Structure 1
Amino acid sequence: MASPQETHSRWDRIGGILGIVLLAGTFVPLTVGAVAWLAGARTLADAAWAAGTVVAIVPAAWWVVTALRRRRIGVDVIAVLSLAGTLWVHEYLAGALIAVMLSGGHALDAAAERRATRDLRALLERAPHTARRRRGDEVRVVDLGEIAAGDTLVIATGEVVPTDGRVTNAVAVLDESALTGEPLQVERVAGEPVRSGVLNAGGVFEMRATATAEDSTYAGIVRLARAAGAATAPTVRLADRFAAWFLPLTLAVAGIAYWVSGSLVRAVAVLVVATPCPLLLAAPVAIVSGLSRASRAGVVVRDGGALENLGRATTLVMDKTGTVTAGRPVVTEVTAAPGSDPGELLSLAASVDQFSPHVLAEAIVTEALARDLELAIATGISERAGHGVTGEVDGRHVEVGKLPERAAIPHWARPVMNRARLDSAAIAWITVDDEPLGAVLLRDPLRRHAPRTLRRLREAGFDRLVMLTGDRAEPAREVATVLGLDEVYAGQSPADKVEAVHRESDRHVTVMVGDGLNDAPALAAATVGVAMGARGSTASSEAADIVLTTDRLDRLADAMDIARWSRRIAVQSAAAGMALSLLAMIAATAGLLPPAAGALLQEAIDIAVILNALRALRGNPATRTDLPADTEQLLRRFSTEHDLLRDTLASLRAVADRIADHPDADGLAALEAMHRFLIEDLLPHERAEETQLYPALAGPLGGSEATATMSRAHAEIQRLATRIGTHLELARARGGFDPDQVDDLLACLYGLHAVLRLHFAQEEENYFVLAADERRSS
């Protein structure tokens, strides 16, 4: 039995063959007639041209009947009337020209649509059907339906990953461009997740499946791509809206031409120049081209109607977790008791947590692996829901999770608890042999692209931004303040979210963005539902009109840009073509344009507007930021340095807390270590940004003023670091901290921590994302 992809391709080939046959059936009679006319055989010429006209009438009449069955009446009616009219008034050359125009226009439109939809079809064609499963030492090729969660799969070079899973034995080099639109290869080390649908661009690696093929990321995307294959049907609505007034206008002008002149030839001439079959097909070509461009940017749109609605939306409603935040907690700080090593404690915690499926345990293990810490084999593992994991590691009893009831909160941990409460962070305590020795702070961080993305969405046309979340009010308000949202609703159940979306949709064209199972009803209730499909549930993806195939919110802004540009091109193409046709109709009414000449003019108009519609494939040049290759490399370099430096920023506050509690010799040693970090790592990084990165950004951003405020921040960072160095020299000279200097020293440490956090966030949101934007626009 043929697959849906094969069936679709077969009908594509049949449609292409029929289009060629129709074009040949109209072009050959036109050519034969021309040769006969030049040879003086006028009767033969008329007969050949009439035959070509009849060849075109049959499919044109069928298109009209098909449209009427769908309760639509379009401009193909004008084509049938003009073809019949040329035969009636014996304008056979005009009829033959219209026939070629009609068949050629449909062939051109079909070719344009095939080009525009090739990216959507590519998603279907690359879907794997088998997988290599290893059991023991035996590797067998099996059907995808036989894969179960927990199976070990072998992925050979050049193969598409068949289901979601985690790398188990080697570094996997992956090409994720088919899903994310990112051309750069990525590496996934052992323990990291891999999504189905990505290509193995490196050596053979093994992975453990975490889902069946049917429930995997790529399967959901393929189902949407199949639905998007029928994208032309909804987009006809735009053409129909134009046809609703263009058709009666054409008939009225033709009637006026006959009433004024009493000549059927003039009336037919009006119909000939008004024949816009390829013309109004330009609107669907532009929309389908937009669908194609969206798919290359990592956005799968269910149909052209969704793209049209996105292009005119004014209200954005979004879930918080997984949408504007990462949806997955990350370790923000590891704090150890005096005399303990944070890295050793993190390694112990991860050794126990590596056997736990809990989301916080997964974050701790991921952080340990990212720091290249070795994990030991823990024994005697046990887990209590809501309490944590315990186990034995190298003869030591390790507990990770809540603080044991028998343990008192140590004095060193009180600042940690305060920070966790203020930052809305979770704490995983590390207890070794019944003594609390460490604490791991975890947060669901704001997406790096979120602030810039929401600014772009406002510029694109959203005038109301609303956030819905089941989270508490305090962290919700913090996120809303950072993002500049218009409204935030906390403590929302799935039913509350649906009601809120209904309220917004009743007043505005509303887009809802979410990623979880509980977001599916709200996505279905919105005018346009958008699912974060990279990690989101199958239910949310199925309920959505648009799926972002990569775990990046900024793809929504890309989709909005594409939607507005495609709709603009569609309207522009249709309006310009009809305006030119209207001018030609007036000329024909005045007797200045006979049917044959009018047919040639209309052919030129139709081809021009269809070619204009294909501009939607390239995207709006105004949304691009062109970066030289060396500037993009600098952005990536400093972005990587930020990731390395960020772990130490929290130590600034920890050192300040330590000195505030005990301004003793240990506090002085901690300050000396922090000062070395400032002098050897942080300040050289800031100076390199000032002298290398900012001058490189001046051109693409339109001048040095774009980085002037960041340069001022560099000056403040230098001032505070110098002041901290002065305090350190005073403390060394006196053999300890002078009580008079502690307050100012704490102000410098806390102040530098705040300035650096803000400075890093601003650079990441304003500059570092440009490298991703550049890759996307290419």
Structure 2
Amino acid sequence: MRPLVEPVLLAVTAAALLLGGIAWLAGWRDVAVSCWIAGTLSAVVPALAWVVHSLYRGRAGVDLLAVLSLVGTLWVGEYLAGALIAVMLSTGRFLDAAAQRRASKDLRALLTRAPRFARRKTGAAVTVVPLADVAIGDVLVVGPGEVVPVDGRIEGAAAVLDESVLTGEPLNVERAVGEPVRSGVVNAATAFDIRATATADDSTYAGIVRLAQQAGSESAPIVRLADRYAAAFLPVALVVAGIAGLASGSWTRAVAVLVVATPCPLLLAAPVAIVSGLSRASRHGVVVRSGGALENLGHAETLVMDKTGTLTAGRPVVVDVLPAPGHDRRDVLRLAASVDQMSPHVLAEAIVTEALAQNIPLSLPVNMIEHPGRGVVATVDGAQVSVGKPPAAAPDAGWARAAVNRASLDTAAIAWVAVDGRVIGAVLLRDPLRRSAPRTMRRLRAAGFTRLVMLTGDRAAPAREVATVLGLDEVYADQSPADKVTAVRAEREKAVTVMVGDGVNDAPALAAASVGVAIGARGATASSEAADIVLTTDQLDRLADAMDIARWSRHIAVQSAVVGMTLSLLAMGVAAFGWLPPALGALLQEAIDVAVILNALRALRSDPTTGLRLPRDTEEMLRRFDVEHDALRDALSLLRDAADQLAADTGESAIGALADAYRFLTEKLLPHEDREQNELYPALATPLGSGEATATMSRTHAEIHRLTDRIGNHLDLSRSVGEVQPDQIDDLRACLYGLHALLRLHFLQEEENYFTLVAPDAAGPVTDDRARRDQRGMQS
């Protein structure tokens, strides 16, 4: 009933005060007094209920002092003071309720998504039965796109499953006949059979729902900031009022002390600051569902994060195309993308996106057949092309073994491309780190997090790689939803803990944390329902923004409360000596309230000590150079191609590859680097505080020029004799490989240190192709 009681109470008390004031000005003193008494009494009843509720929970909060003030004003006949306090009390409660009102945490999305029926197979007949009727040993049919209803084992044929709902990993997995399959995962290919090994109540998905509900019910209640300060302020006010009344023999003096002691700065200033923080957070794409969550975020110490979709992009991208000897990289990508145009597979989408981003024209495939777990076969330009697993065993050629090793080192998936049964290349794909992740981690540490932990259902190797790049304190890999809840609870026992996730599998852990944060841009409804804070954009750095806002709002709330209580304490001293009657004390308290509320409204603005404000022309320049990086990055492979060519040939073809690489360096790359050096870096010097902020990047520019000149000298020497001489090969390959690695690292450093200073959405929506290029840029 709280959402109904508090608005009505505010309307009644405000109307009583206003009507009483009008009646008083009209000379109807009795009517005015009656209105003020009614307003005071209307606040006394709910306030008593709030006090009883607080005492039941073991807390004597801010409402107790307000009740004593209300009753005291009625007792000594200071009705105007009582009406003023009633309005202040109801206003504070209304604001506090608005700040703490959150969406339901019953995880309706989890329950809605859970299947209600299953298709049971008996002989050749298939019947639809309620899920509760499924027994262990029943054979069930799972159609394309359907959710696996109960835990079981694959029968009849292999299955391709989307397990992201449980593990968070975006890549589909293949389960062979006899392998276990868990409820809640999605059939990503053709229909298959399972033999139930558990009932619906004992299956994995039902367990996730129970975990989330249990974790949510175990969350510690949030103590309001006002109540924490009132715990110390209340006894002081009671002692001063008691001494004033006993020493003077006048209880009116005691009530006057209580009136000016009424903690309106606590009732109003803290909620106003928190509500202001919520409003500012929403403008940054951060929906905070409770004032208590914003308060807790303001003094959190531990951050626990899921990997996939939180620290990484949450979808695979092409990181490299490795052609077989005698084949062209673009042609391999063109054939693969042409075949994959009609496939709904997540890897196929990534390959097509990469080809389109490189403006590669695609052919229309015919006679396409998708083999679940193996890939796609189609006829393209008169040849049969397959993308996925190789036609037979993995190729044994040297380049193919190198591709397998590269994929293992990069924790990437391989899509082999074959024409008429002969493998001509491999496409490497992986889920890349978000570009903004390293900078965001630094910002979060600066904001107050002392411990950064990653939880993931992924394997240990890719998890450790991400943790190393980001400098995390702890990594937990191969985590089930139950494991994540256990880990979050353990962290919460040590400190106020924030959990960030984006999938259904993260919902129980979000509910178990002190503050749950969901990245909800991609429709992760279940995790959003379980979270206290939802990032409405797909940008992790919004969490750092939320942290800055939380700390600033809490700072303003504390500042307002302390200043207001200090002024109230001074007024209490004046009232104790009888120099301040209750009605005048109430008006003085109003002046204090206005002062602290105006101060609390400062939370609508950003903390002047945080953030970096760039001139508009500098922002536009950063975006322009960012776009140039995208184009240049696609051409960096020319350097590696030239170096690879030297291993097989030192004649005209090697010189041609070397000439292409040098032409790219001198005609495109170096002009870009020179413009950065002469235009961008000077523009960044002022907002970054010093030219030293870009000094290391300038030194890298010098090294890029040096290596380019060295490659040019090698090219001139090779052209003069018609081949690359043996004594040149080692140094030339070292220059090419070294420059390739240096440029990738340099791009990463500039993008992380400078380009992320400009929010992507500031210039409009980010396209899928642009997002893909951003993510691929994180691969080193």
- TM-score normalised to structure 2 length: 0.77
Q: Which region of structure 1 is more displaced relative to structure 2, 598-607 or 423-432?
A: 423-432
Which among 515, 520, 526 is matched to residue 502 of structure 2? 515
Secondary structure, aligned partner of 1:623 = coil
Which among 27, 32, 39 is matched to residue 18 of structure 2? 27
Q: Could you tell me whether the CA contact under 8 Å between 1:30 and 1:49 is conserved in 2?
A: yes
Following superposition of structure 1 onto structure 2, how do residues 39-188 of structure 1 map, counting pairs within 5 Å? 47=30, 50-68=33-51, 70-72=53-55, 74-90=61-77, 92=78, 95-100=79-84, 102-103=86-87, 106=90
Secondary structure, aligned partner of 1:283 = helix
Q: CA deviation at 1:744?
A: 1.0
1:364 aligns with 2:364: no
1:296 aligns with 2:278: no
Q: Could you tell me whether the CA contact under 8 Å between 1:410 and 1:436 is conserved in 2?
A: no
Q: CA deviation at 1:600?
A: 1.8
Q: CA deviation at 1:424?
A: 2.3
Q: CA deviation at 1:523?
A: 2.4
* Alpha carbons of structure 1 residues 550 and 491: separation in structure 2 relative to 1, 3 Å: same
Q: Could you tell me whether the CA contact under 8 Å between 1:319 and 1:513 is conserved in 2?
A: yes
Secondary structure, aligned partner of 1:552 = coil
Q: Could you tell me whether the CA contact under 8 Å between 1:624 and 1:774 is conserved in 2?
A: no
Secondary structure, aligned partner of 1:332 = strand
Distance 2:513 2:240 in 1: 42
Which among 419, 423, 430 is matched to residue 432 of structure 1? 419
Corresponding residue pairs, total: 646
Distance 1:18 1:593 in 2: 29
* Alpha carbons of structure 1 residues 56 and 297: separation in structure 2 relative to 1, 3 Å: same
Which among 512, 527, 530 is matched to residue 525 of structure 1? 512
Q: CA deviation at 1:406?
A: 6.1
1:275 aligns with 2:258: no
Secondary structure, aligned partner of 2:343 = coil
Following superposition of structure 1 onto structure 2, how do residues 552-571 of structure 1 map, counting pairs within 5 Å? 552-571=539-558
Distance 2:386 2:665 in 1: 35
* Alpha carbons of structure 1 residues 578 and 339: separation in structure 2 relative to 1, 3 Å: same
| 1:210-263 deviations in Å (ceiling 9; x for gaps) | xxxxxxxxxxxxxxxxxxxxxxx9777222222333233222211010122222
Q: CA deviation at 1:673?
A: 0.5
Query: Which residue of 2 is the match for residue 402 of structure 1?
Result: 389
| 1:28-50 deviations in Å (ceiling 9; x for gaps) | 434554675xxxxxxx65x4653
| 1:670-711 deviations in Å (ceiling 9; x for gaps) | 111011111111111111111111111111111211111111
Q: CA deviation at 1:530?
A: 2.0
* Alpha carbons of structure 1 residues 773 and 359: separation in structure 2 relative to 1, 3 Å: closer
Query: Which residue of 2 is the match for residue 575 of structure 1?
Result: 562
Instruction: Write the letter of the residue equivalent to 1:257.
Output: A
Instruction: Write the letter of the residue equivalent to 1:53.
Output: W
Query: Which residue of 2 is the match for residue 703 of structure 1?
Result: 690
Distance 1:266 1:681 in 2: 83
1:442 aligns with 2:429: yes
Q: CA deviation at 1:19?
A: 4.2
Instruction: Write the letter of the residue equivalent to 1:26.
Output: L
| 1:731-769 deviations in Å (ceiling 9; x for gaps) | 111111111111111111111112111111111111111
Q: CA deviation at 1:596?
A: 3.2
Q: CA deviation at 1:321?
A: 1.8
Q: Which region of structure 1 is more displaced relative to structure 2, 75-84 or 625-634?
A: 75-84
| 1:470-500 deviations in Å (ceiling 9; x for gaps) | 3333322222221111122333333333332
* Alpha carbons of structure 1 residues 773 and 253: separation in structure 2 relative to 1, 3 Å: farther
Secondary structure, aligned partner of 1:53 = helix
Instruction: Write the letter of the residue equivalent to 1:62.
Output: V
Query: Which residue of 2 is the match for residue 138 of structure 1?
Result: none
Instruction: Write the letter of the residue equivalent to 2:501.
Output: G
Following superposition of structure 1 onto structure 2, how do residues 217-366 of structure 1 map, counting pairs within 5 Å? 237-277=224-264, 279-366=266-353
Q: CA deviation at 1:444?
A: 1.5
Distance 2:395 2:262 in 1: 86
Structure 2's unaligned 5+ residue stretches are 104-143, 146-219, 764-780
Which among 704, 711, 734 is matched to residue 724 of structure 1? 711
Distance 1:89 1:476 in 2: 69
Q: CA deviation at 1:113?
A: 8.4
Q: Which region of structure 1 is more displaced relative to structure 2, 99-108 or 556-565?
A: 99-108
Q: Could you tell me whether the CA contact under 8 Å between 1:67 and 1:74 is conserved in 2?
A: no
| 1:340-396 deviations in Å (ceiling 9; x for gaps) | 343333222112112222221110011122223333322222222332111111211
Q: Could you tell me whether the CA contact under 8 Å between 1:105 and 1:607 is conserved in 2?
A: no
Q: Could you tell me whether the CA contact under 8 Å between 1:498 and 1:521 is conserved in 2?
A: yes
Distance 2:716 2:331 in 1: 32
Query: Which residue of 2 is the match for residue 652 of structure 1?
Result: 639
Q: CA deviation at 1:568?
A: 1.9
Instruction: Write the letter of the residue equivalent to 1:29.
Output: G
Distance 2:429 2:242 in 1: 76
Secondary structure, aligned partner of 2:636 = helix
Q: CA deviation at 1:85?
A: 3.5
Q: Could you tell me whether the CA contact under 8 Å between 2:85 and 2:262 is conserved in 1?
A: no
* Alpha carbons of structure 1 residues 653 and 413: separation in structure 2 relative to 1, 3 Å: farther
* Alpha carbons of structure 1 residues 682 and 524: separation in structure 2 relative to 1, 3 Å: same
Following superposition of structure 1 onto structure 2, how do residues 586-665 of structure 1 map, counting pairs within 5 Å? 586-665=573-652
Q: CA deviation at 1:613?
A: 2.1
Instruction: Write the letter of the residue equivalent to 1:96.
Output: L
* Alpha carbons of structure 1 residues 394 and 234: separation in structure 2 relative to 1, 3 Å: same
Q: Which region of structure 1 is more displaced relative to structure 2, 535-544 or 600-609?
A: 535-544
Q: Could you tell me whether the CA contact under 8 Å between 1:257 and 1:266 is conserved in 2?
A: yes
- TM-score normalised to structure 1 length: 0.77
Distance 1:376 1:555 in 2: 41
Distance 1:336 1:433 in 2: 16
Secondary structure, aligned partner of 1:392 = strand
Q: Which region of structure 1 is more displaced relative to structure 2, 438-447 or 537-546?
A: 537-546
* Alpha carbons of structure 1 residues 755 and 584: separation in structure 2 relative to 1, 3 Å: same
Instruction: Write the letter of the residue equivalent to 2:233.
Output: F
Q: Which region of structure 1 is more displaced relative to structure 2, 525-534 or 95-104?
A: 95-104
CA RMSD after TM alignment: 3.1
Structure 1's unaligned 5+ residue stretches are 1-6, 37-43, 121-148, 151-232
Q: Could you tell me whether the CA contact under 8 Å between 1:531 and 1:544 is conserved in 2?
A: yes
* Alpha carbons of structure 1 residues 267 and 119: separation in structure 2 relative to 1, 3 Å: closer
Report the identity percentage. 63
Which among 715, 718, 722 is matched to residue 735 of structure 1? 722
Instruction: Write the letter of the residue equivalent to 1:63.
Output: P
Q: Which region of structure 1 is more displaced relative to structure 2, 473-482 or 251-260?
A: 473-482
Distance 2:381 2:429 in 1: 26
Secondary structure, aligned partner of 1:390 = strand
Q: CA deviation at 1:546?
A: 2.2
Which among 741, 746, 760 is matched to residue 733 of structure 2? 746
| Structure 1 runs of 4+ with >6 Å offset | 14-18, 111-114, 116-120, 233-236
Q: Could you tell me whether the CA contact under 8 Å between 2:6 and 2:93 is conserved in 1?
A: no
